[in-house]
């Protein structure tokens, strides 16, 4: 059994370079299937989700190679299948992008239901609505579904709720459909804009990405091209929050500050100093952390993916903080783990009430998803004694260099292994876990 060990190390100091966005990378890799020539992507992180994409690529004939300089070269000309193995599709959430990316070329896609983080069900009803509007039929089976269309035709698509995943999937399906497609109530996330930017470089005609109304003029083919993925705003936000756990000063580099507007405003509100440059952000402690209220929402609001690490930060704020989760109301699997460490947090429906200022104590805790793992690392930085975090595989899904990055800032993190008994349980040291 592997776990991350976090030991007290004082204030963080230094700088860290931010990798390419996980969420954007998974969309870009699928989008490259639409091209009719070679696509080169720069900055795709070497995370586990990308490794799953690589395994899917081998199954369907998509050539995908990581070069010595870190770029990924994708050759979609040899794709021979649009059947995605259900087990591999279930390994990560964004597998549904292959449905939109392969439908126009093959007319029929078979794919397993999306997996990934288990904090909440993530319905694909808006994806299905978009496919049907474009003329496709969707059929559900026990562990997979099929999307089929003899021809995709442009349509007006009105999303019932703002959804980044369905907006991106609609872009993929519509860019090679016949005629014009209009997306209404579309998501405005940077990852949506990044996907549209790549597609336009390949010859697509997408207008209005970054607004709530997007127009797509279908084209018969796409060329090859090159594109650099945007930096990961969610990892950047987490490192900035880490500054507040013990004070110190941390600079995140290779970032687009505009992507973190709501996060930076809230960090200033709780008492951190924030300085921005063209491609970097510095956070530094100005004194005790202050209690606040947070309500997550779709971009440009406070990101649901930053709610969990922010909850760890607010355990350090004296007074009562209130965190309301409006995107995924059940995204509070990190709270019982924080309680194990001594935090006073109560969850009622979609809201967490945090009575901060109580000392945290190192414990065995478990990360149930990527962001919960980041939350527990931050909590461990401020805890007395040693914190041991299992569920390392979830962290590796989202960030391949977590331990070294925190060590660069002076944190004391280590990847450890422990023997287990015949039933797979830890042999020692985890009473009550």
Active site residues per annotation: 117
To the question of whether residue 23 is assigned a binding role by annotation, the answer is yes
To the question of whether residue 339 is assigned a binding role by annotation, the answer is no
To the question of whether residue 93 is assigned a binding role by annotation, the answer is yes
Name the pairing type of β-strands 108-112 and 144-148: antiparallel
CA 74 to chain centre: 22
Spell 408-432 as b/e; 16+ CB within 10 A means b.
bbebebeeeeeeeeeeeebeeebee
| Start-to-end Cα distance in the chain | 14
Please choose, from the candidates 277, 223, 229, 220, the residue with its C-alpha nearest in 3D space to the C-alpha of residue 251. Answer: 277
To the question of whether residue 45 is assigned a binding role by annotation, the answer is no
Helix (H) or strand (E) holding 144: strand 144-148
To the question of whether residue 58 is assigned a binding role by annotation, the answer is no
d(CA 387, CA 7): 6
To the question of whether residue 320 is assigned a binding role by annotation, the answer is no
Query: Bridge partners of 35?
Result: none
* Contact of 376 with 365, CB cutoff 8 Å: yes
To the question of whether residue 124 is assigned a binding role by annotation, the answer is yes
Q: Is the dihedral of CA 31, 32, 37, 40 positive or negative?
A: positive
To the question of whether residue 257 is assigned a binding role by annotation, the answer is no
- Known binding residues for phosphoenolpyruvate: 22-23
- Known binding residues for UDP-N-acetyl-alpha-D-glucosamine: 93, 122-126, 305, 327
């Amino acid at each position: 059994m592997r776990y991350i060990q976090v030991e007290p190390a004082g204030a963080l100091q230094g700088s860290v370079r931010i990798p390419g966005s996980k969420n954007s990378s998974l969309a870009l890799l699928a989008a490259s299937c639409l091209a009719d020539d070679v696509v080169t992507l720069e900055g795709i992180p070497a995370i586990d989700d990308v490794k799953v994409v690589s395994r899917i690529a081998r199954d369907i004939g998509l050539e995908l190679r990581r070069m010595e300089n870190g770029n990924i070269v994708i050759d979609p000309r040899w794709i021979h299948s649009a059947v995605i193995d259900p087990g591999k599709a279930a390994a990560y959430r964004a597998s549904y992008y292959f449905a939109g990316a392969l439908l126009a070329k093959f007319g029929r896609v078979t794919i397993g239901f999306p997996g990934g983080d288990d904090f909440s069900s993530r319905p694909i009803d808006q994806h299905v609505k978009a496919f049907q509007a474009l003329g496709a039929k969707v059929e559900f089976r026990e562990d997979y579904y099929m999307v089929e269309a003899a021809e995709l035709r442009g349509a007006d698509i009105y999303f019932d709720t703002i959804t980044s995943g369905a907006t991106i999937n609609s872009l993929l399906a519509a860019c090679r459909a016949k005629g014009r497609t209009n997306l209404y109530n579309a998501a405005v996330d940077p990852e949506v804009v990044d996907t549209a930017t790549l597609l336009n470089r390949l010859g697509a005609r997408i207008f209005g990405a970054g607004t709530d109304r997007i127009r797509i003029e279908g084209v018969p083919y796409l060329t090859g091209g090159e594109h650099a993925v945007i930096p990961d705003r969610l990892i950047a936000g987490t490192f900035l929050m880490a500054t507040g756990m013990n004070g110190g000063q941390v600079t995140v580099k290779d970032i687009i500050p505009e992507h973190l507007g709501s996060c930076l405003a809230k960090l200033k509100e709780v008492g951190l100093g924030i300085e921005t440059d063209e491609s970097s952000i510095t956070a530094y402690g100005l004194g005790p952390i202050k209690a606040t209220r947070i309500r997550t929402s779709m971009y440009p609001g406070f990101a649901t993916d930053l709610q969990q690490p922010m909850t760890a930060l607010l355990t350090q704020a004296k007074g009562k903080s209130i965190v309301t989760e409006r995107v995924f109301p059940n995204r509070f699997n990190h709270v019982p783990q924080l309680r194990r460490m001594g935090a006073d947090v109560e969850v009622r429906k979609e809201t967490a009430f945090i009575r901060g200022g109580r000392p945290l104590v190192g414990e065995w805790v478990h990360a149930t998803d990527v962001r919960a793992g980041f939350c527990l690392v931050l909590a461990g930085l401020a805890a007395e004694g040693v914190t041991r975090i299992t569920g390392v595989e979830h962290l590796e899904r989202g960030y391949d260099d977590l331990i070294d990055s925190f060590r660069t800032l002076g944190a004391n993190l280590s990847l450890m292994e422990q023997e287990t008994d015949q039933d797979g349980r830890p042999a020692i040291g985890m009473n009550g876990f």
